[in-house]
Homo-oligomer: A and B are copies of this chain.
Amino acid sequence: MKKGIGYTSIGETFDDFILIKDATKGTASNGKAFLTLILRDATGEIEAKLWDVSKEDEELFVPEQIIKVTGDVNQFRGRAQLKIVSIRPVQVTDGVQISDFIEKAPVEKEILTEKLTEAIFEMENPTIQRIVRAFIKKYQEKLLVYPAASRNHHAYASGLAHHIVSMLQIARELHKLYPQINKDLLYAGIILHDIGKIKELSGIISTSYTLEGKLLGHIPIMVEEIGLMARDLKIEGEEVLILQHLVLSHHGKAEWGSPTPPLVREAELLHFIDLIDAKMNMLNSALNKVKPGEFTERLFAMDNRAFYKPTFEEN
């Protein structure tokens, strides 16, 4: 039974279709060329070596090419590596397509759209509502397919919208517990806080940083976008400034990319809701791959900690 590369253990054989994410040519000590391939499907990725490659191989096995591969998963320098036994490019008759190999959010786009609409509908402050609605409209298409990051948390198709919708759910409950919270502000902050990533990141496959992403970053990009949108909508007033502040401060500290720390209640809360959802996403994903009584691999974005799954947990 096929279970995906992310769930194939060392010592097992892998025999399935998979996507080439990256391919680099090298020269072996015997003088022959070889390819280092990064292969990925919706469950994870692995490095593979293809030895003694010909010019034709180099042209066939390139990024974004789907292949059919058979091989054994070995350990190399402490990491899994696929030893390729046979390899061929996909054929039309195989009936597979790139989208099959991209990890996707566990929630459908329709549900995500519905949840976003619901949140906007709940808002009472017309100014805040208009701005948020305008952004949803402007980025409608990309907002529903973009990942929330190039790696780490929600780094999959529709990850950005999935992240927003989870955060909205937390916000709804916290508002019940602490009724002083301005729900409109908090909802708006959640929806807008990472939209700058649509300009910061290159897309869904092989996600990298754009020039604008590298030189400005998604936070200043979005502060500016809110300013431009307000002018287009002819909106003035403190709401615009506060929304910009929410976006600007949502990383919590200057060292973490927010030149101004949260100075409004909802900004402080936005920062923590963002942290919780990002961390739970990374943790659940890593713990899913281990059995009770085991530790996960070290999680770089969680201070390099390895987490333990107690033996009394259900697998």
Contacts and interface: CB of A to CB of B under 8 A. Distances in A.
A258 interface: yes
Interface residues of A, number: 84
A98 interface: no
B263 A26 contact: no
Contacts of A49: 29
A182 B310 CA distance: 10
A15 interface: no
Nearest to A219: B259
A214 B264 CA distance: 11
A60 interface: no
Contacts of A30: 29
A91 to B, nearest CB: 27
Interface string A75-98: 110000101000000000000000
Contact of A308 (B28, B75, B263, B309): B263
Interface stretch (A136-144, A151-159, A273-281): A273-281
B275 A272 contact: yes
Contact of A216 (B260, B272, B287): B260
Q: How many copies does the complex hold?
A: 6
Contacts of A121: none
B211 A241 contact: yes
Contact of A228 (B28, B227, B262, B302): B227
A244 interface: yes
Interface in A218-275: 219-220, 223-224, 227-228, 231, 237-239, 241-242, 244-245, 248, 254-265, 268-269, 272, 275
Given A29-B51, A255-B254, A307-B265, A239 B312 contact: yes
A27 B83 contact: yes
Nearest to A245: B215
Contacts of A25: 74-75
The 7 closest A-B pairs by CB, nearest first: A173-B173, A215-B245, A224-B227, A224-B224, A257-B259, A27-B74, A180-B284
Interface of A: 24-31, 34, 49, 51, 72, 74-76, 81, 83, 125, 166, 169-170, 173-174, 177-178, 180, 182, 185, 211-212, 214-217, 219-220, 223-224, 227-228, 231, 237-239, 241-242, 244-245, 248, 254-265, 268-269, 272, 275-276, 279-280, 283-284, 287-288, 295, 302-303, 305-313
21 contacts: A27-B72, A27-B76, A28-B29, A31-B83, A170-B174, A180-B288, A215-B263, A217-B259, A220-B220, A220-B244, A228-B228, A238-B310, A239-B312, A254-B256, A254-B257, A257-B259, A263-B305, A264-B309, A264-B310, A265-B280, A272-B272
